[in-house]
Structure 1
């Protein structure tokens, strides 16, 4: 039988700051579970929203379009598409790289020969981190870059890999991530916020408001629980100049070695 250990065992070796974060997350989760969905639905209805199917939220040219994923969401997309984990998701890294123009035929590489999902050239969709100096605090002595979570893969031009170019159709719509299904709304610090979106201010029915509020609360609690589990499993590492140099050398050779931390532990990948 697998022994997951006690809460005290999991928290052993944590810094005071880490323990403070864990405690704060537990309290926020407890409060989040008691939030009134009817009040949230009323706020959503007052704000108004209707998706315009413009696809701008999926395109890098219109802002940060990273979509954070939980391990469970990755598995749902894998099951729906028959793609590998690394074809669906990559390490969650800062959104500072400049989008590149996609090569001929690349924009719809995901859609060739399939109405749902085709083969993806992993090298074409990977996003190596180009300036390791900005991730110096996330590089260990072996030159591994530590990332804290997963994000949906993007094309080299920065657009979501599952966005159909000509129709703005989502190829994984039935299993799209929670962030996508609740966009442009999100909850942070127990308060409702919105991202920039052309669909805001448009009439939304009371029924749709309640449905969206329920999804939004589920997403909020799920993300908090996922983050808490990651923090509880996280083990810190040393930062050295040698590790930074190794990461730079790897990058010059066209390789990034990541250690991805998530709610299930760590995964080492070469991207």
Structure 2
């Protein structure tokens, strides 16, 4: 298995033009169906991306929407609406267990906050047409959907390979196969490369900075690239 440092070099060497070729070959246009922003078989949210929506309850059915968001992206989203940390992000659920008073344990990184139905809290819908209420400041994982890069140290790639090398993957999405301009493909490719580098940088920082934390019963600890944090985003000394 290659080291994260070696994988980072590979990510840095990614050719944006080649990534754009792969994206352009398959084609993509967002149809605003909202499938990538909603829970799997969740309940119908009356307000979509309502700012007062909660996020502590599980979706009625299926699995909550889970999208990785980096600490600096959380802060950027906080500034869009004077949000608290918990309004924007929740501890990544993987690694946590359900205790008497809710989730507990240690986990790594953050996920975008969800509403009571498990949909992304920044998702809004009007007559079946979806929209991101923080579109200009949306995280890299959202900017690059439905594509990913198959590199160690990055998010587990899903979907079918788009290029011959199997580097670029396309997740299932009804927007695939639609016309995309070269300029749009290159913009998406730039974001895809940036995401690949950022994910490995985060993984390296978490690895190098990880220290076991003595937790209180029922406590949640989140380890990110900046150290150990409480669910409200404050640092644990």
Out of 175, 185, 210, the position equivalent to 2:186 is: 210
Matched with 2:49 is: none
Return the alpha-carbon distance in structure 2 between the equivalents of residues 52 and 165 of structure 1: 13
Task: Please say if residues 92 and 149 of structure 1, whose CA atoms lie closer than 8 Å, have aligned partners that are also in contact.
Answer: yes
Matched with 2:91 is: 91
Return the alpha-carbon distance in structure 1 between the equivalents of residues 140 and 34 of structure 2: 16
Return the alpha-carbon distance in structure 1 between the equivalents of residues 97 and 133 of structure 2: 29
Return the alpha-carbon distance in structure 2 between the equivalents of residues 38 and 31 of structure 1: 15
Matched with 1:227 is: 203
SS of residue paired to 1:204 = coil
Change in 2 beyond 3 A, CA 1:237/1:262: same
Superposed counterparts of 1:161-180, under 5 Å:
161-166=121-126, 167-180=129-142
The alignment of Structure 1 onto Structure 2 pairs a total of residues equal to: 193
Return the alpha-carbon distance in structure 2 between the equivalents of residues 158 and 64 of structure 1: 4
SS of residue paired to 2:222 = strand
Superposed counterparts of 1:1-271, under 5 Å:
24-61=3-40, 65-94=65-94, 131=98, 145-166=105-126, 167-189=129-151, 191-236=167-212, 250=218, 257-269=219-231
Change in 2 beyond 3 A, CA 1:65/1:192: farther
Stretches of structure 1 lacking an aligned partner (at least 5 in a row): 1-19, 96-128, 133-142, 251-256
Stretches of structure 2 lacking an aligned partner (at least 5 in a row): 42-62, 153-166
SS of residue paired to 1:65 = coil
Task: Please say if residues 146 and 171 of structure 2, whose CA atoms lie closer than 8 Å, have aligned partners that are also in contact.
Answer: yes
Task: Please say if residues 258 and 270 of structure 1, whose CA atoms lie closer than 8 Å, have aligned partners that are also in contact.
Answer: no
TM-score (normalised: structure 2): 0.74
The CA deviation string for residues 27-72 of structure 1, in whole angstroms up to 9 with x for no partner, is 1001110111111110111111000011111111267631101111
Return the alpha-carbon distance in structure 1 between the equivalents of residues 213 and 137 of structure 2: 35
TM-score (normalised: structure 1): 0.65
Matched with 1:118 is: none
Task: Please say if residues 90 and 150 of structure 1, whose CA atoms lie closer than 8 Å, have aligned partners that are also in contact.
Answer: yes
Return the alpha-carbon distance in structure 1 between the equivalents of residues 232 and 75 of structure 2: 20
SS of residue paired to 2:130 = coil
Structure of greater Rg: 1
RMSD: 2.5
Change in 2 beyond 3 A, CA 1:269/1:215: closer
Task: Please say if residues 184 and 196 of structure 1, whose CA atoms lie closer than 8 Å, have aligned partners that are also in contact.
Answer: yes
SS of residue paired to 1:203 = coil
Change in 2 beyond 3 A, CA 1:266/1:130: closer
